[in-house]
Amino acid sequence: MGKQRSILVVDDEMAVLKSVVMCLHSSEWLVFATDNPKEALEIARRHKPDVILCDASMPDLSGPQIITTLRADVTTAGIPIVLMSGYADADMFSHVAWSGFLAKPFGVKELKEALQSVVRHIPPKME
């Protein structure tokens, strides 16, 4: 059997962060979470999660800025990133290399489908 997959959830809206974390904790994910975009970069480099779920609009560093920074770092460049946004138009963010897009608000089903679509392309971890 494969090892548990890990995910980093980044959102400055505490209500969104808490509900996503609650949803994922009850599934097969090991969850890292922060409302601080700068801390998210540190967590990504330290833990190298299998997937990052990142809000697009945050103070200090936006989701696209986080993605650009992570893509430029050899240790995090290959991590799939699902971008979340209250703007339903994913084309607004076509200038950055995201792996999936979730329009807010979204439900548990949409969240799990978005994560499943990016995880499908990651080889399973071995014990």
Q: What is the pLDDT of residue 17?
A: 96
Q: In terms of C-beta density within 10 A (0-12 exposed, 13-18 middle, 19 or more buried), how is residue 38 classed?
A: exposed
Q: In this predicted structure, what is the pLDDT of residue 63?
A: 87
Q: Is 28 inside any structural domain?
A: yes
**Phi, psi (5° rounding) for residue 79?**
-75, 125
Cis geometry, peptide bond prior to residue 64 (ω within 30 degrees of 0): no
Q: Does residue 109 belong to any structural domain of this protein?
A: yes
Q: Are 85 and 101 in contact (CB under 8 A)?
A: yes
pTM for the model: 0.88
In a domain, 50, yes or no: yes
In this predicted model, what pLDDT tens digit does every residue of 97-110 receive, in sequence order? 688 889 899 999 99
Domain coverage including residue 100? 5-119
Tell me what pLDDT residue 16 has: 93
DSSP 56-84: S--SSS-HHHHHHHHHHSTTTTT--EEEE
Residue 126 lies in a domain: no
Is residue 96's pLDDT more than 80? no
**Assigned domain for 41 exists:** yes
Number of domains within the chain: 1
Q: What pLDDT band is residue 127 in, cutting at 50, 70 and 90?
A: very low
Residue 105 lies in a domain: yes
pLDDT at 59: 85
Q: Residue 35 domain-assigned? A: yes
Q: What CATH number corresponds to the domain at position 66? A: 3.40.50.2300
In a domain, 124, yes or no: no
pLDDT interval class at 62 (50, 70, 90): confident
- In the chain, the DSSP E strands lie at 5-10, 29-34, 51-55, 81-85, 100-103
pLDDT of residue 95: 64
CB 58 within 8 A of CB 49: no
Residues 121 and 127: their CA atoms lie apart, in Å, by 19
